[in-house]
Each structure stands twice: as C-alpha cells, then as structure tokens.
Structure 1
C-alpha cells in the first residue's frame, strides 16, 4: 500500500480504541510500518498462569493485536480486516518480564496471511510462533 504509516503512538491509539482489552493490558505499539509491527506487553501479574509464566490467552491476544498493528502500519491507519484464523505454537515458557511480538504481513489479498513471533524482551530466543489469516473488509456505500 502507498499510504504513509502513522506514528506508532497514533497506531496504538487506534488499537486501544478498537480493542479496549489491549488498552487494559497496556499493550504498546513500538513500531508499525511497511507490513511489519512490534508490540510490547508489559509484565502484569493478572496475565499469569500457574507456574508464573504469561498465559496463553494473553500471548494470543498480543499476537492478534500485533498483526492488526502491522496491517494498520501498511494501510495508513485504516484497516477493518477481521481475524479468520490464528494458530499458535508454544515453544518455551517466558521468563518474568515484558513480552515482545513481532508481526509480518506475508501476503495481502482478499485473505491476508501473516506471521508473528513472540519472545521475552531482551531475549532473542522465540517462545511462541503464530500464523494467522485475516479477511479483508471493504466497506460499501
């Protein structure tokens, strides 16, 4: 897409309005442009599961938000696509601390395909791998 990407803070505002749970969890849009985005989930005790690691539902939510941020960064902040599938593979538990999700649009069309990797902030080892598809939405009249 040719639209200039809004600043990460502007995309974060769009995400927080569109997905209030992202605002409640404090998800931050670190970067979003050219079909890629990085989002940060601060460490929050209420997102833990037994054993002191971040819960699967929190990681899936972060991945979904990161993918939307990547789409917003590619479309100038205007995207109403809808998640049609999300598959996550948990590779290892995350140490206590903030979590980063890096999303990439792989193919755009009527169906949009993307990939997200999740890791602890400051650690290069991937903790979860996500593939996702989205239905492109076109508003009529």
Structure 2
C-alpha cells in the first residue's frame, strides 16, 4: 500500500472512530493509529465513576480493549483481512489495575506484540495525567467471517 493510501486509510479509521456511539457515550477518543500501535484516551466523569468516586474499572477495560484493537487495524495482515470483509473479535482481555483514577484523563498506548495466523497478541499501558501507570492490559484477537453475527440488527 502506498504512503498516500495508508494515510488515507488511517484518516478513515479515525473518522469512523468519532462516529462510534459507545465511544461518544463514554467520551472515548482514538487519538492515533499506526501499524501495530494506537493511542486512546478518556476523561474521568462523574457518570463513569463507581460508588467510591473512582473511574469504573469497566471503563479502563473498555479503553484497553479499544486501544488494542485499533493498534491492529493498520498492520498489513489485519488490514488485508478486514478489507476482504472479515471482522476482528476479542478472544481474551486481561486487565491489571495498578492505581485508582479519581480525576483527569487517562491515556492508553497499545501495541501489537505478535500477529499470528489465527491469534493476534496485544499489550497496553494506561497512564494518568502525571504519566503514572494506572493499569496494564493484554488482549488476544482473531478474525471471523462477516457471517458470524457481526451484522447489526435493530430491535425497532
């Protein structure tokens, strides 16, 4: 893929991310995508906090799941698979919570660590505004044919 094509595909990915309803609901932003790497962010909000006022762990897990998936989109192997109509699905997601988040933004830097034929490995580090680690995560992905329940169905 030529540099112009890659840049255009990157811009399409970022534009599409801005339209994902869940991302908009929770304020999750895809800041950067590159082959094998992504940066995602979200801010602490009262409606995303648990009873103790800390950002809910599920929000951090969502940030990691999103970041690690977006780190894969521009890898040669996965880009070709997605353009051929296959979908990317999470097989396993693990999160290690290291520090609570009671305010500010959190940033997730994700990397693809191994792109195998069937299973794809990723890692993520989440930091706070002070650049201190608040969580680490890793995820496994695979691709599936578009016919495996990936089509959106509306109940209305």
**Normalised-by-shorter TM-score class:** 0.7 to 0.9
Deviations 1:38-57 (A, max 9, x none): 00112322111122221001
Match of 1:91 among 86, 98, 109: 98
| 1:6 Cα deviation from its structure 2 partner | 4.5
- TM-score normalized with structure 2 length: 0.75
Q: Which runs of 5+ in 2 are unaligned?
A: 148-156
Q: For 1:94 and 1:5, how far apart are their aligned partners in 2?
A: 34
Deviations 1:52-106 (A, max 9, x none): 2210011111111111211123338857210000011101112401111111000
1:101 corresponds to? 108
Taking structure 1 as reference, are residues 23 and 8 closer, same or farther at Cα in structure 2, changes over 3 Å only? farther
- SS across alignment from 1:29: strand
Q: For 2:17 and 2:127, how far apart are their aligned partners in 1?
A: 21
1:116 corresponds to? 124
| 1:11 Cα deviation from its structure 2 partner | 2.1
- Count the aligned residue pairs: 138
Larger Rg: 2
Map 1:1-141 to 2 at 5 A.
Answer: 4-6=6-8, 10-17=12-19, 19-74=20-75, 75=79, 78=83, 80-109=87-116, 110-121=118-129, 123-138=130-145
| 1:126 Cα deviation from its structure 2 partner | 0.8
Q: Is the 8 A contact 1:43 1:97 kept in 2?
A: yes
- TM-score normalized with structure 1 length: 0.82
